[in-house]
Each structure stands twice: as C-alpha cells, then as structure tokens.
Structure 1
C-alpha cells in the first residue's frame, strides 16, 4: 500500500508493525485454538479504550485504522479526529483535529497513510477524499464522479458513501468503497471507485468496479493485500438480534470498468468483483467477551475499521476496530486476527 516502490514499502510497513499487541486484552490464546473458519482465527480482543478520553477528546467512534511510518497505529474517529495509538498498549499518544476547507468537521470514514506521511481521508458527507499534511493542513481534494455524490447532487444515499479507503500495491492506485448502492442500481450492488496517481502526488479519476454485497449488508471497510486483492468487510445490524460481520477476499483485477454504466441491475457482460468468504465472525470463539446489547456472539459489535499490520507464518495479521457511536449500548473493541489468503 505505498507508491512507486510500494510493494517494498508495503512490506516494510508490515514488518514495522509486526510487534502490534495490546496490553489489557481479554481472551488471549493461540490462533490455532481460536478458529473462526479454516482461513481466519482470532488471537485476542481489547476493550481497553472503551469510553475513555484523551486530552479532552472522547476516544472512540473509530471508523478506520492505518499503520503509520513509525509503526504506531493511526485510528480515525468519524467525529473528525485522528488519534495516534501506541502499537503495543493501544493507549493514545496524540490527537489531531480535522476539518474541511471551511473549518467544518468531517464525517471521516476512510484512512490511508501515504509514503511521505500525508494522510488521505474520506468523508461520507459529500462524499470526498482529501489529502492532509501530518499537522492537519489540507493539501489536495480529489475529484469525485457526480453520480457518487449524495442526492440531490448525485445518486448516493446519505450515510452510505465512501467508507473504505485503501492504496493498492505499487502505490499508484487509490480505491474507495461505497457503503451502499446508488439510486437506480441493484440494492445489493455497491461501487468501488479508483484514482490513479499523477505528478505531484495528485490523483485523477480512473476505473470503477461493481461489488455485490450479501443481502442486507453494506461495506464499511476495504484493505488491499500485498498481491493486489482486497479484504472486504461486510456488516449489518438487526434490532434485537445484533450485528452481522463477514470478511471476504475480493479480486477486482478482471472486473468490468463500470464508470460508464449508469444503472447496475444485472446487466449482461458486466463482470462483478469476484469474492470469496473467508469467515463469518459470528463463528469466532467469544473469548469471554461480553456484549452490552443482544448479539448472536458476544464478541461482535459494530465493526467498522480494518488494517493489515504484518505477517506471521504465512498469515496476514489483521486488526479490526468497532465504532461505538459514543453509545452506552456499544463498545470500542479491537480484534486481532490472523488471515490466510
């Protein structure tokens, strides 16, 4: 997930974060005994940051994670704040407020840390993608197709736009995942928009792809794997039942460019992004977790952020985080997974 020499940089970033662990965790155990599926196991979870504050800021509402250049963990709050967390303890070490060009808060949802330390951050309000300096100054704003804008400007539904953001190996292609379908598209089909890097680290619009989510689920996060495929989170919530969270491996490399397709309603000749289920997280061991509201597995919550932090014995080390919405019935919870792709 970096630039021209990105595969090497991506590998270096993973190696730098391989030590990621969490003090104050619950349910620690070996991955082999904690299988969610043949491809996914859960090492441990941590509720250490739930309902805490740091320098007057509420620590929570997390929507995205990234590994910074120094190996620390960046955690993005959808309330327009970017936290730096100690990679070992998860404790905050700094917080940076973010704003748009007029000084207003973002509904910040997706996060990429580029090779030079700049931050690419998506907001689902418009939606938008902006480049920020390390100290929070806006450097650039990426173009967005008019159809992806929230109605009435476009065909997107409010709160169903850019949730996932990732930089593909090689560092030249940025990809954003819409959470929900556009008006006129099939209800289970969401669009993945890409940009290509140009001189000066600007980005121009590029191909767009179609991804079919499971019925009733949306896409809150997407992360590129070192081989150019994608880890895709699908998530939903049913009142009185709880959350559904599934992890898929997706391959966009043979999918049709749908940027010129107005309506995605099962048109012949349109090849969707191919996906393979890695795990339904309801099948993970609960590890002694407790839930504040009904859940089909007490380990589950409103999982929204995901980052690949390293490798171990042929498996990717993946950290997930839930968005507690600053709600007493939800929990800020970090999950440490091992994923074989």
Structure 2
C-alpha cells in the first residue's frame, strides 16, 4: 500500500531499540541502478552461527538481510514498491509490485529473471497487494481499490474474478475505506481454501478489529465462505498473512509514525476455533464472538540491526515499510520466512529482504 502515517504505540519498541548494537556489515548495494541477468550477490549466514547474535526473540532469528534490489531496474521496469511474495512451483520467487508488475526472482540470488505487467478488465493499473500461487501455477492477486481478487495466467491474462462481500467493498458501495482493504492473501493447506486479510476495520466495526475473508473451492472455482475477526494492536494494520502447514497463520502487523518510524510485529494466529462473522453486521468485541487467537512471535524492533542503515528516522535502522511475506522452507517446528519492504519508490525508503527463522511450536 502507498505510504501513509498511522499513529502507533511505540513505547516498548523504542525502549528495546535503545539497546541494539550493530552485529556486522550490511549487504552492499549494487554499484549501478540496473539489474541484469547476472546474479545479484546476497550474503549467506555463517553456518552454525550463535543464536544470540541473530535472535530477535526466543522464537525468531534474523539470518541476514539484503538491499541488493533497492532502486534497481529490470527490463525497463522499476524493481520496487514490492507488496507481496510467493514461492513458485519450481522454487523461484514471485514478487508483486503494487504498481501492476509481477517479477520472478531467483530464490538464491534474488536476481529478477522476468517481469509481467498486470491490469484490470479495462486495461487500467491495479493497486496490487496480495499474491498466492495456485496449484496450477496461476496467480491469485488482490487489488485494494475495489477491493478485488483476480486470477491471472502466467503471462498476465485475467482468467477469473472472485466474488467479494458487499460490506467489504469501498464506500459508498460498501463499508471499507479506500487503500485499507485486501492486503494479505494466502492458500490454506490442501489448496481448497483461500484467505484474504483486510488491512483495517470497516465502518461499523470497532477500530482494530479487521476481517479475514475466505473462499472455498467448489468444482474448480472459489466461492465465498467463512469470515473471521482479528484484533490488531493499537494503531496497527495487517499488511500480510501466510498459512502454515497445520492451518495456523503468520500475521504481520505494521504501522508508521512520522518522525519515529515503523512498527512491525509478527504474530502466530489460529483461525480454526474462531466465530464465522460473515453474518454479523458489526464487530464490537462482543462476548459471543470468538476472534482469531494470536501469540506474539517478535517485534522486529528487537532484531539485531546487522549494520543496516535507514534513510529516515527508525527505532531500529533495520526497519522499513515491510509488506510482503512468504514461507520459503520448513524443518520440524521451524519455518524459514522471507519478508520484503515496500520502498514506495521513495528515496528515503529501502527495498529490503529479511531472511528469518521462526519457531512455531504448538
């Protein structure tokens, strides 16, 4: 989503940031502003590194970060404004720009290998925010202007448009606010259920309670299904959500305060026992509605900065406008998670990739 100021509670984060020290040199940026077909170098974490040097919390560690794609161009397209990530069937990465471009990246080097333009049915640009790669290789992509969910072929043709509840449409058609709708998108295990997360509450719901909408696959097509409520921390929105193999969710919460910087928190959430809120007009925290439960995994302000620099005030120079997330690997009770920040094509912001290891024990 485009840069906006969201007043967020940062007292705890700022206190933690004051204790941070650099843990090593930042990844060098490219010498030019153009990415070619040559591999982009990305630092690799040292094998067997001490957890204390990389720990953000007992559950999360930061292996390394990369600014390799910051302010670069590929095939005439600016590589930035990245709002979502997904793993392709061949193991490469899909990276979605909110300026209607879908990049394919090499999973090891992050070097772009292709870019596909996207558009709506009239050929107009999208505010593309959420991305999921379906089992047939097609791409499910949200736009937060209507909002909408469309299915695209690999070459960018529209194949299908999913239904959206009228209440989640932008006013006056519905109760949502423009630029505050579908940001996150993920397929649940098995690929039969698609879930999209609203970024902020709709009119009539209590501030901080956002709706997660699902679709269930019937005869090869997705139809509207259950809806759930999720309560964010004060002043924060939901830019991304990703499903885990057991049906739980990783949820990013994010906010921005001018002159202070970003707040980014990673939660483990469980929708499996939440109330279906599709038929509930207003979510006000009523006792008979069970919201999605959540557990804090980490506030990223506590991660080691690893020598990162910031072009604007941040409570930790590692932080930026983080919007995209993908689960890229798993081993026992841990998953590898890749985050990316949306630089808004702004000179003081950075396109930065964050390589995390996350423990997700029950």
TM-score, with structure 2 as normaliser:
0.86
Paired with 1:131 and 1:266, the residues of 2 have a C-alpha distance of: 34
1:170 to 190, 208, 226: 190
Segments of structure 1 that go 5 or more residues without pairing to the other structure are 1-21
Paired with 1:318 and 1:124, the residues of 2 have a C-alpha distance of: 24
SS at match of 2:301: helix
SS at match of 2:287: coil
2:73 to 45, 53, 59: 53
1:185 matched residue in structure 2: 205
1:241 to 260, 278, 285: 260
2:35 matched residue in structure 1: none
2:227 to 196, 208, 221: 208
1:71 to 86, 91, 96: 91
The within-5 A match list for 1:116-131 is 116-131=136-151
Contact in 2 for aligned 1:31/1:41 (Cα 8 Å): no
1:322 matched residue in structure 2: 341
SS at match of 2:176: coil
Contact in 1 for aligned 2:40/2:111 (Cα 8 Å): no
Distance 1:51 1:224, change over 3 A: same
Quote how far apart the aligned CAs of 1:294 are.
Answer: 0.4
1:267 to 283, 286, 301: 286
2:23 matched residue in structure 1: none
SS at match of 1:69: coil
The within-5 A match list for 1:1-341 is 24-25=41-42, 28-29=45-46, 30=49, 32=51, 33-199=53-219, 201-312=220-331, 314-341=333-360
Paired with 1:25 and 1:138, the residues of 2 have a C-alpha distance of: 34
Paired with 1:212 and 1:244, the residues of 2 have a C-alpha distance of: 16
Across the aligned residues of Structure 1 and Structure 2, the Cα RMSD in angstroms comes to 1.2
Quote how far apart the aligned CAs of 1:23 are.
Answer: 5.4
Paired with 2:90 and 2:191, the residues of 1 have a C-alpha distance of: 18
Paired with 1:255 and 1:128, the residues of 2 have a C-alpha distance of: 24
Quote how far apart the aligned CAs of 1:31 are.
Answer: 6.6
Paired with 1:70 and 1:244, the residues of 2 have a C-alpha distance of: 34
TM-score, with structure 1 as normaliser:
0.92
Paired with 1:224 and 1:186, the residues of 2 have a C-alpha distance of: 25
What are the superposed Cα offsets for residues 179-201 of structure 1, whole Å, 9 maximum, x if unpaired? 000011001100000000011x2
What are the superposed Cα offsets for residues 235-260 of structure 1, whole Å, 9 maximum, x if unpaired? 00000000000000000000000001
